C-alpha cells in the first residue's frame, strides 16, 4: 500500500536523489528537478519500456506505462502531481505543456502551473476523445475505451474542447461527464461519480501537502461557449 509522505517539486535547476534509499511502495521526500519525477510507485512501471524506479526523471516525449495492479505518481512544477492507475499509458510533453492519456486513468492535483501557462495556451490533458485545458484543478480522468472518456472535475475548473464544441466546467465537489466519439462527433453527457472517491483525491493531494477546498463557492456551475 502507498505510504503517504511529504512530496512536492520539480522544474527548478538542481536535482538530487539517492534511489537506493527507497523501495517500491514508499514515497520520496521533496525533490527539485527540471522535469517530472516519479515520487512513488508500486508494481510494474516503465518509462520508454525501461523499468522505472522512484526518483527517475520524466522528460519530454517520455511514455510512462503501468501494468496490472501497478501505480505511480509523477510530480512536476511546484505542487503538481498526477497518479497513474493500473494499465495506464501516458505520453509527456513538458515543452508543449501537454499530457496525453492513451489508455487507463489518472488522478490529478494541479495547483501551481504558472511556469507552463501563457496568454495563448493552457496546460492540456489529451485523450482520444477530448482536450482539457487546466489552470489549477483537481480532477479524475479515465479513458474507458477509444470512443469514451470519463472525466470528473473534482474541485476547480477545466476548459473542454473537441472538433464540434467547447465548454468551461467548474465544480466545488465532483461533477462528472462522459464524452463519446461517434462518427467523428463528440457528444457530452452527465455521468455518475465513478472509479474514485474523496479519499482517492485527498490521498493524492496529501502528497503535495495540499488540502482540497471541497464545496468552494468559487467552483460551482457550468456554462458553454
Residue 55 lies in a domain: yes
| Grid cell listed for 119 | 496568454
So what's the pLDDT on residue 128? 93
Residue 155 lies in a domain: yes
CA–CA distance, 174 with 138 (Å, rounded to integer): 9
Residue 4 lies in a domain: no
Contact 147/159 with Cβ under 8 angstroms? no
Contact 4/203 with Cβ under 8 angstroms? yes
Q: Report the CATH number that the domain containing residue 206 is assigned in CATH.
A: 2.60.120.1440
CA–CA distance, 66 with 104 (Å, rounded to integer): 9
Residue 6 lies in a domain: no
Residue 37 lies in a domain: yes
So what's the pLDDT on residue 113? 87
Q: What is the pLDDT along the chain (225 residues), one digit of tens a residue?
A: 443 333 333 323 222 333 333 334 544 433 334 589 999 999 999 999 999 999 999 999 999 999 999 999 999 987 899 999 999 999 999 988 999 999 999 999 998 888 777 666 789 999 999 999 998 899 999 999 999 999 999 999 999 875 456 788 889 999 999 999 998 899 999 999 999 999 999 999 999 999 999 986 554 433 232
Residue 49 lies in a domain: yes
| Grid cell listed for 220 | 460551482
Our measurement of the distance from residue 144's CA atom to the centroid of its chain's CA atoms, rounded to an integer in Å, reads 16
So what's the pLDDT on residue 69? 98
Residue 11 lies in a domain: no
Residue 220 lies in a domain: yes
So what's the pLDDT on residue 34? 57
Q: Which residue has the cell 495547483?
A: 111
So what's the pLDDT on residue 95? 85
Contact 30/8 with Cβ under 8 angstroms? yes
Write the DSSP symbol of residue 114. Answer: G
Phi and psi for 199 in degrees, rounded to 5?
-60, -40
Give the H or E element holding residue 157.
strand 148-161
Helix (H, G, I), strand (E, B) or coil at 210: coil
List the beta bridge partners of residue 143. 104, 149
CA distances from residue 178 to 16, 112, 130, 166 in whole angstroms, order as listed = 41, 27, 10, 14
Q: What domain range is 210 assigned to?
A: 19-224
Q: How many domains does the chain have?
A: 1
So what's the pLDDT on residue 35? 86
Amino acid at each position: 500500500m502507498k505510504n503517504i509522505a511529504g512530496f512536492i517539486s520539480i522544474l527548478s535547476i538542481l536535482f538530487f536523489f539517492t534511489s537506493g534509499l527507497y523501495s517500491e511502495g514508499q514515497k520520496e521526500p521533496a525533490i527539485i528537478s527540471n522535469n517530472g519525477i516519479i515520487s512513488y510507485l508500486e508494481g510494474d512501471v516503465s518509462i520508454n519500456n525501461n523499468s522505472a524506479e522512484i526518483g527517475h526523471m520524466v522528460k519530454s516525449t517520455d511514455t510512462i506505462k503501468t501494468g496490472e495492479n501497478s501505480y505511480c505518481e509523477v510530480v512536476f512544477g511546484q505542487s503538481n502531481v498526477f497518479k497513474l492507475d493500473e494499465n495506464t499509458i501516458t505520453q509527456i510533453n513538458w515543452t508543449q505543456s501537454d499530457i496525453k492519456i492513451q489508455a487507463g486513468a489518472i488522478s490529478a492535483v494541479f495547483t501551481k502551473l504558472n511556469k507552463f501557462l501563457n496568454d495563448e495556451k493552457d496546460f492540456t490533458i489529451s485523450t482520444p476523445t477530448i482536450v482539457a485545458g487546466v489552470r489549477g484543478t483537481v480532477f479524475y480522468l479515465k479513458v474507458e475505451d477509444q470512443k469514451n472518456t470519463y472525466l470528473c472535475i473534482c474541485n476547480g475548473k477545466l476548459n473542454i474542447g473537441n472538433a464540434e464544441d467547447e465548454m468551461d466546467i467548474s465544480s466545488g465537489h465532483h461533477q462528472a461527464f462522459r464524452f463519446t466519439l461517434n462518427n467523428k462527433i463528440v457528444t457530452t453527457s452527465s455521468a455518475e461519480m465513478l472509479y474514485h472517491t474523496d479519499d482517492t483525491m485527498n490521498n493524492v493531494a496529501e502528497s503535495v501537502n495540499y488540502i482540497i477546498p471541497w464545496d468552494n463557492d468559487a467552483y460551482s456551475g457550468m456554462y458553454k461557449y
